[in-house]
Amino acid sequence: MEAPIHPRSIVILDFGGQYAHLIARRVRQCGAYSEILPPETSADRLKDAAGIILSGGPQSVYDAGSPKADPKILELGIPVLGLCYGLHWMTQALGGQVKGGNVKEYGKTRIIIENGGGALLQDCGDSCTVWMSHGDEAARLPDGFTLIASSETCKHAAFSDEDRRLFALQFHPEVTHSEHGFDMLRRFVALCDAAPWAIENYTGYVGEQVKQEVSNRKVFMLVSGGVDSTVAFTLLNQVLGKDRVQGLLVDTGLMRKNEVALIKNAFDHLGIDNLHVVDESETFFEKLKGVYEPEQKRKIIGDTFLDVQKRVSEEMDLRVEDGWMLGQGTIYPDTIETGGTKHADKIKTHHNRVDAIQQMIEKGLVIEPLKELYKDEVRALGEELGLPHDLVWRHPFPGPGLGVRILCAEQSSPLSWEQAVPNGAQLTDFIQSGVILPVKSVGVQGDGRTYRHAVAYFTDDLRQIHDVHVLATMVPNAVPTLNRVLLCIDPDKKPKKFTFTPGYLTRARADLLREADAIVDDEMRRAELYKEIWQFPVVLLPVGVQDGGQSIVLRPITSIDAMSADAKLLPDDVLRTINDRILAEVPGIDAVFLDLTNKPPGTIEWE
Ligand code: XMP
């Protein structure tokens, strides 16, 4: 039997647009609980919803097999809002007509408000700018509907039947490019008799859910050090009591400086003392000996993690037969297969959903108390539970930890400008003043991943720093053998060519990187830049300017979802302080670089 929906929630029926999660998050920001369900969800199941939003989607309602909702949802008497494809489906279902638009319209468009804008568009004045992305449009409105906005290229840009509380917008109010978009959603939510949503009230509700689901069993939870598992473990402890929960934290040797202590302290402060920490760093370094290929490193780290977890849980007698179930910190976007991702060719399998875990989920042996929450809500819940603000707002950190930030290479791969530049290409002297590194890093160019060289420029002249910033976009396009551009603000360090020392994933190198990473973290917080930056990988390279030297790359970026990213140019004084501190305090590091490459062409991590 299908699970009932949350009473009085606002349901987003996902027609496969990329925006379903964005709509759901916006609705929650308006103070109403939202959930995402497949478009074919029956009207019967939706009868307790407070409102329904029909998302956009990539198809045309005329395409064979295009998704359809149950038309009876339009007779439930609850407010319904159709967006883009949702508008087309609603128009067709109610007897109006949809046609292929004359013009495919993408981007910002001015709409003129008609007939006062009805309940949803009343904040927009006479006109406003909205985000359009469509081919089809409504050619004839269904009976009972009134036009509330039109644009130059789309006559029926918005229409509504205010008596039946049915609304249709051709554009996307959920994206921030739509002026007053949030107001429109807020107005819609206000019409729905939705259960109020605030994380403070959720704590009690989720506590009851956890008690019911766990019943008289006990929960074993792997705590990674990341925000989600830390919050989930805290919640389980507070709801079930520490006698019925056991945590395990595996120290892989690839964690950040003081990370284990930070987490342990936060738990101690809350009276949580049932986290068992095992130092397995030696096991990890042993398995990684002599390995330098990035994907192989990832696989070894992942496999070793599972082995250690299995071994330790057996040693601790945490068996299903004895009433133990597994706890996971999975969050909402990882549990919902949205229409947008359902048909995508290859989306990475989330590690919380691998086969073995999936089978356990089906047998009811897994509890995921955060599975209804978005990341920002998990963080707010963490604070609500008493975890420190700085702990729950840490930057995302990759599963393999520092393992993917210690660049490994067995041999140098030198590349001269003559070899780098394709026949006859003319590059300026300034471009060719850069020194090419004798190691490669991963990038993403065109449709695939690349493995190419980086070029470094040495200058502390502000004007030239600006030029290097510009080159970061230009050079990887102009020179197909290069995918990254670096800046070093110590011009006197410029070598004729870099030195190289074979480098693997060793404890000594992890310790060096930990020190550099801690300096960066410290300076970011001191300069109050931590929140402005989405992620800040610090990378260790087996490359230096003197024999045996190594170097550090700073990779601050801003991003929304890690799919693309912008390199962040740090303020001069902050860059200078970090540069000088790393050179002075981290032994064996003889150069510091700032990576100025966007994604694409560079990836966020170097491996
Ligand atoms: P890239 O380097 O592909 O990274 O631009 C995108 C985001 O993914 C993170 N990342 C990982 N996360 N396991 C993870 O859990 C991994 O193996 C891994 N590799 C990259 C990266 O930190 C960034 O946020």
Predicted local confidence at residue 216, as pLDDT? 95
Q: How sure is the predictor about 300, in pLDDT bands with cuts at 50, 70 and 90? A: very high
Predicted local confidence at residue 340, as pLDDT? 60
CB distance 142 to 159 below 8 Å: no
CA separation, residue 289 to residues 12, 253, 279, 403, 504 (Å):
49, 13, 18, 12, 7
- Per the DSSP assignment, residues forming a β-bridge with 321 are none
Which residue has the CA at smallest separation from atom 24 of ligand 1? 562
pTM: 0.84
Whole-angstrom distance, CA of residue 161 vs CA of residue 145: 5
Nearest-5° Cα angle at 246, 518 to 386 = 55
Reply yes or no on whether 174 is catalytic: yes
Predicted local confidence at residue 344, as pLDDT? 45
- Per the DSSP assignment, residues forming a β-bridge with 168 are 82, 159
Q: Which residues of 405-443 are buried (b: 16+ CB within 10 A; e: fewer)?
A: bbbbbeebeebebeebbeeeeeeeeebeebbbbbbbbbb
- Higher pLDDT: 239 or 3? It is 239
Predicted local confidence at residue 345, as pLDDT? 38
pLDDT tens digits, one per residue of 341-386: 654 433 345 566 677 778 888 999 999 999 999 988 999 999 999 9
- Per the DSSP assignment, residues forming a β-bridge with 158 are 149, 169
Whole-angstrom distance, CA of residue 498 vs CA of residue 553: 14
As a whole number, mean pLDDT of residues 2-27 equals: 88
- The DSSP letter of residue 605 is S
Q: How sure is the predictor about 339, in pLDDT bands with cuts at 50, 70 and 90? A: low
Predicted local confidence at residue 211, as pLDDT? 96
Strands 448-458 and 482-488, bridge-based pairing: parallel
Whole-angstrom distance, CA of residue 223 vs CA of residue 233: 7
Which residue has the CA at smallest separation from atom 11 of ligand 1? 398
Secondary structure of residue 264 in the 3-state scheme: helix
- State which H helix or E strand residue 287 sits in: helix 281-287
Q: Which residue has the tokens 């210690």?
A: 406
pLDDT tens digits, one per residue of 435-484: 999 999 999 876 678 899 999 999 999 999 999 999 998 899 889 899 99
pLDDT tens digits, one per residue of 517-568: 999 999 999 999 999 999 999 999 999 999 999 999 999 999 877 878 999 9
- Per the DSSP assignment, residues forming a β-bridge with 37 are 13
Distance 539 CA to ligand 1 centre (A): 13
As a whole number, mean pLDDT of residues 152-163 equals: 95
CB distance 217 to 366 below 8 Å: no
Whole-angstrom distance, CA of residue 61 vs CA of residue 139: 13
Predicted local confidence at residue 334, as pLDDT? 80
Closest ligand 1 atom number to CA of residue 607? 2
- Active-site entry in 114, 174, 384, 515: 174
Which protein residues touch ligand 1 with a CB less than 6 Å away? 298, 396, 398-400, 404, 535, 562, 599, 603-605
Length of the chain: 607
CB distance 449 to 441 below 8 Å: no
pLDDT of residue 233 exceeding 90, the answer is yes
pLDDT of residue 275 exceeding 90, the answer is yes
pLDDT of residue 20 exceeding 50, the answer is yes
pLDDT of residue 58 exceeding 50, the answer is yes
The secondary structure of 388-431 as a DSSP string is -HHHHTPPP--TTGGGGTB--BSS-----HHHHS-TT----HHH
Reply yes or no on whether 408 is catalytic: no
Predicted local confidence at residue 103, as pLDDT? 57
Q: For the chain, report the end-to-end CA distance as a whole number of angstroms.
A: 44
Query: Mean pLDDT score of the chain, rounded to an integer?
Result: 92
Q: How large a percentage of the chain has pLDDT more than 70? A: 95
Whole-angstrom distance, CA of residue 541 vs CA of residue 535: 19
Q: How sure is the predictor about 319, in pLDDT bands with cuts at 50, 70 and 90? A: confident
- Active-site entry in 6, 30, 84, 384: 84
Whole-angstrom distance, CA of residue 402 vs CA of residue 225: 13
**From the CA atom positions of the chain, what is the Rg in Å?**
27
pLDDT of residue 277 exceeding 60, the answer is yes
- State which H helix or E strand residue 98 sits in: strand 97-113
pLDDT tens digits, one per residue of 378-429: 999 999 999 999 999 999 998 889 999 999 999 999 999 999 987 777 889 9
Q: How large a percentage of the chain has pLDDT more than 90? A: 76
- What the block records as the tokens of 413 is 């791969």
Q: Which of 379, 377, 374, 372 is nearest to 395 (CA)?
A: 379
Reply yes or no on whether 321 is catalytic: no
Whole-angstrom distance, CA of residue 179 vs CA of residue 127: 10
- Higher pLDDT: 423 or 236? It is 236
